[in-house]
């Protein structure tokens, strides 16, 4: 006996061919940015809370990038682990032209001129108190910090960065950096703003990787309250006016609604960052055999794309590219 049903959505799922016709969202290696941790040591150092990720020497960074490019991943974001001895309250190492990041940018652009090299602009890896901005009497100074971020951004641009990505959440930094880049002739350097970045608990493994956790307090006076959605639109409006080329939402998985909100309110490309804690959760479950790694990772990436992200920063970029190729 059959039910008298006028609509049977299952018909559009009945075979692989029909499912391919009906598919709305695609994810591929062209959507990925691979974050790379680099350090000045002689050997790679595995990051305990991020199995499969290491702090890389510059040679290993180049090998990793080469492997990724063969798999179709062409964009890289560089994050430095700075030795304690180079961290200062003024974060001066952040704009040292002979520092680790400028050296890494030059090496990447020399070996792989066709790659897209993105650099993180924020003071936390360089600052002895681990905050993204300059600290005075326990407060994070905004306007003074912006001056330093401008110097850091110029240093990266001079080394050859393609995209500068301020992750600090100070007010007004996009406009200040855009102006400084343009006045020095770096009109082609793009700004990918960490526009909507939440004060999230999911960054802890990253702070292990860089040894960059704040030495006091938290980041709640500059990163956004996870309870807020409307405020994302204020950040978006400001970054658009100041000249951002791409806007990011971060983290991704717990904030899919925000990705969708930003997608619906801008014509700019929207990036999402599947952060270290999201990686660690999936990886831990996979290692324990509680989740099928391949299927759960690809589903998480598809979800981020479906929410409206054009590009995804993900530590799974290489395995995901391989799995997608295998089909
Ligand atoms: C630094 C920065 C952070 C991340 C990217 N850039 C950490 C933070 O804001 O504390 C997090 C990335 C991740 O968790 O994968 N400003």
Helix axis angle, 293-307 to 317-326, nearest 10°: 100
Q: Give the Cα separation of 215 and 177 in Å (integer).
A: 27
How far, CA to CA in Å, does 273 sit from each of 143, 163, 227, 265, 282? Answer: 26, 16, 18, 19, 15
Give residue 187's pLDDT.
98
Look at the pTM and tell me if it is higher than 0.95. yes
For 71, the token pair is 């798999």
Q: Give the Cα separation of 79 and 209 in Å (integer).
A: 9
Give residue 327's pLDDT.
83
Assess if residue 9 is contained within a domain. Answer: no
- Residues with a known catalytic role: 197, 250
* pLDDT single digits (tens) 243-288: 999 999 999 999 999 999 999 999 999 999 999 999 999 999 999 9
Give residue 219's pLDDT.
95
Instruction: Please name which of 327, 320, 264, 314 lies closest in space to residue 71, comparing C-alpha atoms.
Output: 320
- Residue 272 sits at the vertex; the CA angle it makes with 269 and 278, to the nearest 5 degrees, is 170
Q: Among 167, 173, 201, 282, which residue has the most ligand 1 atoms within 8 Å of its CB, making it the best to mutate? A: 167
Assess if residue 20 is contained within a domain. Answer: no
Residue 213 CA: nearest ligand 1 atom is 10
Domains in the chain, number: 1
SS3 83: coil
Assess if residue 48 is contained within a domain. Answer: yes
* pLDDT single digits (tens) 114-135: 999 999 999 999 999 999 999 9
CATH of the domain at 79: 3.20.20.70
Assess if residue 235 is contained within a domain. Answer: yes
Assess if residue 87 is contained within a domain. Answer: yes
Q: Give the Cα separation of 124 and 212 in Å (integer).
A: 6
CA of 210 to the centre of ligand 1 (A): 9
CA of 203 to the centre of ligand 1 (A): 6
pLDDT value at 100 more than 90: yes
Provide the domain limits for residue 211.
Answer: 27-326
Q: Give the Cα separation of 131 and 234 in Å (integer).
A: 23
User: What is the tally of helices (H) and strands (E) in the chain?
Assistant: 11, 12
Give residue 213's pLDDT.
92
Give residue 189's pLDDT.
98
Cis, peptide link before residue 251, omega less than 30° from 0: yes
Atom 12 (ligand 1) nearest CA: 275
Assess if residue 102 is contained within a domain. Answer: yes
* Pocket of ligand 1, beta carbon within 6 A: 120, 122, 124, 132, 167-168, 203, 206-207, 219, 275-276
For 48, the token pair is 């305990």
Q: Give the Cα separation of 156 and 150 in Å (integer).
A: 10
Assess if residue 21 is contained within a domain. Answer: no
Assess if residue 18 is contained within a domain. Answer: no
Q: What is the mean pLDDT of the chain?
A: 97
């Amino acid at each position: 006996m059959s039910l008298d049903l006028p609509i049977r959505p299952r018909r559009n799922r009945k075979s692989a061919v029909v499912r391919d016709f009906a598919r709305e969202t695609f994810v591929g290696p062209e959507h990925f940015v691979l974050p790379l941790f680099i350090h000045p040591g002689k050997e790679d150092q595995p990051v305990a809370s991020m199995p499969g990720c290491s702090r890389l020497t510059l040679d290993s960074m180049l090998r990793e990038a080469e492997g990724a490019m063969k798999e179709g991943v062409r964009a890289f974001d560089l994050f430095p682990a700075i030795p304690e001895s180079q961290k200062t309250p003024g974060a001066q190492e952040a704009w040292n032209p002979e520092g680790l990041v400028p050296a890494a940018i030059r090496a990447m652009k020399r070996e792989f001129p066709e790659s897209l090299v993105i650099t993180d602009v924020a003071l936390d890896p360089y600052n002895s108190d681990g905050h993204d901005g300059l600290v005075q009497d326990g407060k994070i100074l905004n306007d003074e910090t912006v001056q330093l971020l401008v110097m850091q951004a110029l240093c990266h641009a001079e080394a050859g960065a393609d995209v500068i990505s301020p992750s600090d959440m100070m007010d007004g930094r996009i406009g200040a950096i855009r102006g400084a880049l343009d006045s020095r002739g770096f009109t082609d350097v793009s700004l990918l703003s960490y526009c909507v970045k939440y004060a999230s608990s999911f960054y802890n493994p990253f702070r292990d990787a860089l040894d960059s956790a704040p030495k006091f307090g938290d980041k709640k006076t500059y990163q956004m309250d996870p309870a807020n959605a409307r405020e994302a639109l204020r950040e978006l409006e400001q970054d658009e006016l100041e000249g951002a080329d791409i806007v990011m939402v971060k983290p991704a998985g717990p904030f899919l609604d925000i990705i969708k909100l930003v997608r619906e309110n801008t014509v700019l490309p929207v990036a999402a960052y599947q952060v270290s804690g999201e990686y660690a959760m999936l990886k831990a479950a996979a290692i324990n055999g509680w989740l099928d790694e391949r299927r759960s990772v690809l589903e998480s990436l598809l979800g981020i794309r479906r929410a409206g992200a054009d590009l995804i920063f993900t530590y799974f970029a290489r395995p995901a590219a391989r799995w997608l190729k295998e089909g």
